[in-house]
Chain A
Amino acid sequence: EVQLLESGGGLVQPGGSLRLSCAASGFTFSSYAMSWVRQAPGKGLEWVSAISGSGGSTYYADSVKGRFTISRDNSKNTLYLQMNSLRAEDTAVYYCAKVRYMITFGGVIRLDAFDIWGQGTMVTVSS
């Protein structure tokens, strides 16, 4: 069974750091790009970051660029999100998701839909 399981959420003070993990199973992890999506309480979905299957290419939303770092360990089938300089507005449920495919053609990079999602982990930034 294809499965994603997030962990690492919790309560952190403004300015603090947290590292989220997403353990993948049931598919060849290294063959797929992965992504993080968050959802603030009562709000819509917000894309956070994505990473290629090899880990060599990363993409970030402007709201987290320079503060968050996405990475992966393909030997451990695990995706990570290092979150630094956390702010109250980073409070959200964080989901990891598998990208259906990623292709590069003529210098254009295209990532497709998220076909598998984890159950999410809550991050609360508050003093």
Chain B
Amino acid sequence: SYVLTQPPSVSVAPGQTARITCGGNNIGSKSVHWYQQKPGQAPVLVVYDDSDRPSGIPERFSGSNSGNTATLTISRVEAGDEADYYCQVWDSSSDHYYVFGTGTKVTVL
């Protein structure tokens, strides 16, 4: 089955840039989505189809995807960005299923 690997944690100072990676075999050939989840809350979609943002998501959130790595970039990090972040793909190479990444805890110092 397809596996998505994320770093367990990323720490960043306010105002700086956080980059969260999502590694998978030839992930660049798939559409990657990113979710933000704060404690006790449901996940929220922040980037879809590699680099598009839903309405209401700040431009500070951006995404890219190439080769074996997709990246979520949070610019000008704010305290409110502290959360868990998950990448996701739909895999239809052998069967049809979604895969979530292992998740990354972003800590704002």
Closest to A48 in B: B98
Tally chain B residues at the interface, Cβ within 8 Å. 25
User: For this complex, into which size category does the number of interface residues on chain A fall?
Assistant: 20 to 34
Closest to B98 in A: A47
Is A11 an interface position by the 8 A CB rule?
Answer: no
Q: Is the interface of A mostly helix, strand, loop or mixed?
A: strand
Question: B residues touching A (Cβ–Cβ < 8 Å)?
Answer: 1, 31, 33, 35, 37, 42-45, 48-49, 54, 84, 86, 88, 90, 92, 96-103
Is A95 an interface position by the 8 A CB rule?
Answer: yes
Contact: A120 with B42, CB < 8 Å?
yes
Closest to A120 in B: B42
Instruction: Give the residue of B1, B42, B101 whose beta carbon is less than 8 angstroms from that of A119.
Output: B42
| A-B pairs with beta carbons under 8 A, tally | 66
Is A110 an interface position by the 8 A CB rule?
Answer: yes
Closest to B54 in A: A115
In angstroms, how far is the closest chain B Cβ from the Cβ of A46? 7
Contact: B42 with A95, CB < 8 Å?
yes
CA distance A47 to B87 in the complex (A): 12
Closest to A44 in B: B103
A45 and B45 contact, Cβ closer than 8 Å, known pairs A109-B92, A115-B54: no
Query: Could you give 10 example pairs across A and B, Cβ below 8 Å?
Result: A44-B84, A44-B102, A45-B35, A45-B86, A60-B97, A62-B97, A108-B92, A111-B90, A114-B45, A117-B43
